[in-house]
A and B are shown apart, each in its own frame.
Chain A
Amino acid sequence: MTMNANVGAMPQATTKEGEGPFETKYMRVNVGPQHPSTHGVLRLVVDLDGERIARIIPQIGYLHTGFEKTMENRTYQQGVTYSNRMDYLHGFGHDLAYCLSAEKLIDAQVPVRAQRIRVILTELNRIASHLVFFGTGLLDMGALTPFFYTMREREDILDIFEMVCGVRMNYGYFRVGGLSRDIPEGFEGAVRSFLASFPAMLDQYSTLFENNDIFVNRTKGIGIITKEQAIDYGLTGSSLRASGVGLDYRKAQPYSGYEDYDFGVPVYPTGDVRSRFWIRFDEMKESMKIIRQALNRLEPGPVKDPDRRISLPPRSELENSMEAVIFHFKLVTEGFHPPRGEVYVPTESARGELGYYLVSDGGSMPYRVKVRVPSLINLQSLEPSCIGGLFADMVANIASFDPVMGDVDK
Chain B
Amino acid sequence: MSLVEQVVDQLKARGGKPGEFKEMVSVTVDKETLVDSVEAAKNAGFAMISDIFGIDYLEYPGHQGKRFTVAYNLYSFEKNERIFIRVNLEDGETLPTITHLWKGANFMEREVYDMFGVQFEGHPDLRKLITPEDLDGHPHRKDFPLGETPTLFNDGRFLDPAAFRAGMTGESGGLTGFTGGARKGVRSEQGREIISHETTGEGGQT
A residues contacting B by CB (< 8 A) are: 1-10, 28, 30, 45, 60-61, 64, 66, 68-69, 73, 104, 231-236, 245, 247, 252-253, 341-344, 346, 353, 355, 357, 359, 361-362, 367-368, 370, 372, 376-377, 379-380, 383, 409-410
Contacts and interface: CB of A to CB of B under 8 A. Distances in A.
Interface string B130-146: 11111000011000001
Contact of B132 (A30, A61, A235, A383): A61
6 contacts: A8-B125, A60-B129, A61-B129, A232-B102, A343-B21, A410-B130
Given A61-B128, A233-B103, A235-B104, 12 more contacts: A6-B133, A66-B139, A231-B48, A232-B104, A247-B77, A252-B80, A341-B22, A346-B50, A346-B75, A359-B55, A368-B55, A377-B107
Contacts of A8: 125, 200
Contacts of B104: 232-235, 377, 380
Interface of B: 21-22, 24, 47-51, 53, 55-56, 59-61, 71, 73, 75, 77, 80, 82, 84, 102-108, 111, 125, 127-134, 139-140, 146, 155, 195-206
Given A10-B202, A61-B131, A346 B195 contact: no
- Kindly list the 5 A-B residue pairs having the minimum CB-CB distance in the complex, ordered from nearest: A234-B104, A3-B204, A61-B130, A28-B202, A370-B53
B140 A64 contact: no
B64 to A, nearest CB: 14
Contacts of B80: 252-253
A30 B204 contact: yes
Contacts of B53: 357, 370, 372
B61 A2 contact: no
Contact of A3 (B22, B139, B203): B203
A380 B82 CA distance: 22
Nearest to A247: B77
B203 A231 contact: no
Given A73-B146, A410-B130, A380 B200 contact: no
A372 B111 CA distance: 11
B112 to A, nearest CB: 10
B60 A367 contact: yes
A47 to B, nearest CB: 9
A231 B47 contact: yes
Contacts of B22: 104, 341, 343
Nearest to B199: A4
A359 B63 CA distance: 13
B203 to A, nearest CB: 5
A6 B60 contact: no
B102 A234 contact: yes
Contact of A2 (B107, B133, B139): B133
Contacts of B134: 1-2
Contact of A4 (B75, B82, B107, B204): B204
B82 A362 contact: no
Contacts of A341: 21-22
A1 B133 contact: yes
A234 B200 contact: no
A343 B197 CA distance: 38
A6 B61 contact: no
A5 B49 CA distance: 28
A2 B51 CA distance: 28
A252 B206 CA distance: 49
B16 to A, nearest CB: 17
B40 to A, nearest CB: 18
A6 B77 contact: no
Contacts of A6: 127, 133, 195-200
B73 A372 contact: yes
A5 B50 contact: no
A193 B48 CA distance: 41
Contacts of A1: 132-134
Q: Interface centre among A233, A236, A346, by most B CB within 10 Å? A: A233
Contacts of A233: 102-104
B91 to A, nearest CB: 17
B81 to A, nearest CB: 10
A6 B105 CA distance: 20
Nearest to B111: A376
Contacts of A104: 22
A110 B3 CA distance: 31
